[in-house]
Chains A and B, each alone.
Chain A
Amino acid sequence: MEKKSIKVSEQNNGKDVLLKVKDLKTHFFLPSGQIVKAVDGVTFSLEKGKVLGIIGESGSGKSVTSRSIMRIVEAPGKIINGEILFKGENLLTLPESEMAKIRGRRISLIFQDPTTSFNPYMTIGQQLIEAYRVHEKESENKIKEIIAQVFKLVGISDYEDIVKRYPCEFSAGFRQRIFIAMSMIFTPDLLIADEPTTSLGITIQAEIIEALNDVKERTGTSVIIITHDFGVVSQFSDDIFVMYAGRCVESSPKKELLLNPMHPYTIGLIRSVPLLEARKTKRLKSIPGFPPDMMNLPIGCAFSNRCEFAQDICFEKVPDLVEIRPNRKIACHYPQINYQTNQDTQI
């Protein structure tokens, strides 16, 4: 397939950077005059062919981040600051007509709910053809060839029968598989999967993650996977990015983060995941308190009121994201540098 977009791949330590997000701020201006800082200064970069896992609880701004990259934030939300460099091009300054050419073609988005992602009145085939024709004029036969290819990519061989049927005739897991196929018809450079497995059963979830992994391996597409499930990011991603209350609290290569998390929130999250391998202990270690109210964030570090290591300064000053070791960034006044996961939990 042709690749028309401008190729100004930025060189960064000899690596190909596909996406670079700098100080992104997306705020929601409510009619009541209140401002919800859903995304408040997020910075990260993604290399070609890599998988970035964004993890956070509901309301942490992870979905708004993905919507900001696609520029589909709905009113009253507004991107007020930052740069999103995709292949060196700032998506935020592009005219809408140019952006429309990138959406679904160079960057695809997979949603959580495979039921509502499809039009219930159109057959699968019609929708795939439509998705193609939005961008390219092509004969139906040629498109059908491409459709056969993308179905093969996600492990569906007998596509002939499937394209004639309606979305409601398939189970949620299969629909999600078809949706992944649909998002791959232009072999995009970036696939953003926003909680792709959350509503699915456990074996179906494993199948979908495996399908995503296959797609990534075979096409070299970079993936951003957004989830609240530590298990999913642990197994699938290369780098992990932890969000809390609209900010990044920790970002690191996967293994370092899993073995040696430094931010108290990351530590708490890892500790509170129920583990199959765990010894049957009496209780799980949980993070006390509740996720913050985005309308009414604490002054200082947003995690301060739930943090066991918090000192006075944490309640006064928002910690900056600093690179504490190569590739390891953390926003905390008291990072737990010596914390080891395997000494604490029974991993």
Chain B
Amino acid sequence: MEESILEIRNLKKHYPIRKGLFNKLVATKYVVDGVSFKINKGETLALVGESGCGKSVLLRLLVGLENLTEGEIIFAGKKLSEMTALERKLLQQKQQLIFQDSLGALHPRFIVQESLEEPLIINGMKDKNKRLQIIHETMNKVGLDPKYCTRYPHELSGGQRQRVNIARALVERPELILADEPISALDVSLQAQVLNLLMDLQEEYNLSMLFVAHDLAVVRQIANHIVIMYCGKILESASSAEIYENAKHPYTNVLLKSAPSIKKGISDEGFNLDLKVGDTPDPANPPTGCLFHTRCMEADEYCMREIPHNKEIAPGHFVCCHKI
């Protein structure tokens, strides 16, 4: 069996909504509701879902920026809940985040060098020359000239800033990168560059990656395993090849088909959107039964009533749908 670097079991995050004079609990927001998956060493898991499906909250749970409601996070075989404070601190070095908003993620009054140096200082590297050496090395790795060390974030372009963010995540030689839509805010011509860079770095350092995206086309090249999330739950999870060739869940198929593409433009294909007009459900007021039934073309009364359960239709390919 392959060694897993991160495993999560039945992760839940519910936010209470309180109102009124006595802070009465009026509703609960089921933002992440029973999510399980695992990432093997050196592999990339892509978490795909639309805005509001809870994917960013999930990442925040993983790094401890939010407290769990329920569930278990297991990092390299060790349960997070059983770790000591020191172990947790060491863990923070081993997993690093890359955010979508490259400007917001950097301190506006820190030059690039300070931004990159800070994590090293916090983790007790006292030798300044060694720090600089690591910084320059990492900057070269991410394709940034070390002369940019003295620049402020606003003096850099979006692509360069995102490279700084990637460099900052790498200075501590992490084992796991958690990337929250790292390329979706970048210009088209830069998206491919940064995606390639991430893949190069992954090979070089044998990194594992959790790559969050809202688009299946983007993760085509990078992902080994894909998890489709909708309104806090996983609807389908399978290896990348299975998803692209043998997707079963209606929602996955919508994601695959609805994305506008150059190919459809060439072949004059219209908009064949197999979806009822509507919105992603409100996590504070999720639909009964299957979460997707409000927009699913195949949904019937049974789907509205009964909650579907995960079925393994092929080894490693799980689908959560009544129609399978």
Chain A interface residues (CB < 8 Å from chain B): 57-58, 155, 171-174, 200-207, 209-210, 213, 228-236, 254-255, 258-259, 268-278, 280-288, 290-291, 293, 341, 347
- Measured in the bound complex, the distance between the Cα atoms of B193 and A285 in whole Å is 8
Contact of B260 among A229, A293, A341 (CB under 8 A): A229
Q: Which of chain B's residues have a CB closer than 8 A to the CB of A286?
A: 189-190, 192-193, 195-196
Interface residues of B in 178-222 (CB under 8 A from A): 187-193, 195-196, 199, 214-218, 220-221
With A235-B271, A259-B266, A275-B262 already in contact, the answer to whether A284 and B221 are too (CB < 8 A) is yes
B261 at the binding interface (Cβ < 8 Å): yes
List 7 interface pairs A-B (beta carbons < 8 Å), by A numbering. A203-B273, A209-B260, A210-B271, A258-B262, A259-B266, A278-B221, A284-B192
Contact with A along B243-262 (1 / 0, CB 8 A): 01000000000111011111
Q: What residues of chain B lie closer than 8 Å to A283, measured between beta carbons?
A: 196, 199, 221
Please tell me if the beta carbons of A206 and B192 are within 8 angstroms of each other in the complex: no
The answer to whether A228 touches B187 (Cβ under 8 A) is yes
Which of B31-39, B125-133, B154-162, B301-309 binds A? B154-162
Contact B160 A290 (CB under 8 A): yes
Nearest chain A residue, comparing its CB with the CB of B261: A231
Given contacts A276-B259, A286-B192, A291-B157, contact A210 B273 (CB under 8 A): yes
**In this complex, what residue of A is CB-closest to B256?**
A276
B265 touches A235 (CB 8 A): yes
A232 to B215, CA, bound (A): 14
Contact A274 B195, beta carbon cutoff 8 Å: yes
Shortest distance between the CB of B147 and any CB in chain A (Å): 14
Chain A residues contacting B199 (CB-CB under 8 Å) are 282-283
Q: Report A-chain residues with C-beta under 8 Å of the C-beta of B220.
A: 274-276, 278, 280
Question: B89-97, B109-117, B275-283: which lies at the A interface?
Answer: B275-283
Whether, in the assembled complex, B263 has its beta carbon less than 8 Å from a beta carbon of chain A, the answer is yes
* Residue B2 interfacial (CB < 8 Å): no
B217 touches A274 (CB 8 A): yes
Q: How far is the CA of A273 from the CA of B215 in the complex (A)?
A: 12
Most chain A CB within a 10 A radius of its CB, from B193, B244, B277: B277
A280: chain B residues at CB < 8 Å are 220-221, 240-241
Complex Cα gap A203–B230 (Å): 12
Query: Which B residues are in CB contact (< 8 Å) with A288?
Result: 193
- In the complex, B123 has a CB within 8 A of chain A: no
Do A231 and B193 contact each other (CB < 8 Å), given the known contacts A58-B187, A276-B244? no
A178–B63 CA distance with the chains assembled, in angstroms: 38
Q: Which residues of A contact B158 (CB under 8 A)?
A: 58
Residues of A with C-beta under 8 A to B195: 274, 284, 286
Contact mask for chain B residues 22-62; partner A; CB cutoff 8 A; 1 contact, 0 none: 00000000000000000000000000001110000000000
For the complex formed, measure the closest distance between the CB of A25 and the CB atoms of chain B, giving whole angstroms: 23
Bound complex: CA A254 to CA B254 (Å): 25
A57 to B187, CA, bound (A): 6
The interface residues of chain A lying within 8 Å CB-to-CB of B196 are: 283-284, 286
| B260–A234 touching, CB < 8 Å | yes
> B190, B241, B263, B275: which contacts A277 (Cβ < 8 A)?
B263
Knowing A213-B271, A228-B187, A285-B192 touch, does A202 contact B214 (C-beta < 8 A)?
Answer: yes
Given known A283-B199, A347-B266, contact A207–B275 (CB-CB < 8 A) = yes
Tell me whether A290 and B159 are in contact (CB under 8 A).
yes
* Sample of 16 more A-B contacts, CB < 8 Å, known A200-B51, A203-B254, A205-B260: A155-B277, A201-B50, A203-B275, A206-B259, A207-B273, A231-B261, A234-B264, A236-B260, A258-B265, A269-B188, A271-B192, A284-B195, A286-B193, A291-B189, A291-B190, A347-B263
